[in-house]
Amino acid sequence: MQQSFIVNEVSEFPTVRYFATANPVGPGQDDVPALLRRVADTIEELGPVWIQDVTFENEINEHGDWYSLTVYFHEESNGGE
């Protein structure tokens, strides 16, 4: 006879969310300080979050370097303390 059971597990790891942002394509797309300000503004708008990681990427298009940042985070209420 086979036994059935259900296991309810709660992960010890929080759900990680992310957003990516870049300056608009065209003149100024390579302005890293402006990109960092844009990311800082977005983090402030999110409210209390715990930043897990930030990655910096570069793509080259017809206007030159086009940088972007991806921010990985989770909410403070979701294990970020």
For residues 72 and 31, is the Cβ–Cβ distance under 8 A? no
Task: Please give the Cα distance from 40 to 63 (Å, whole number).
Answer: 25
At residue 9, the pLDDT reads: 54
At residue 14, the pLDDT reads: 74
Give the pTM: 0.76
Task: Please give the Cα distance from 27 to 62 (Å, whole number).
Answer: 11
For residue range 10-45, list pLDDT tens digits in order.
Answer: 566 678 999 999 999 999 999 999 999 999 999 999
Residue spans of the domains in the chain: they are 17-78
For residues 65 and 30, is the Cβ–Cβ distance under 8 A? yes
For residues 21 and 73, is the Cβ–Cβ distance under 8 A? no
Residue whose structure tokens are 């300000």: 37
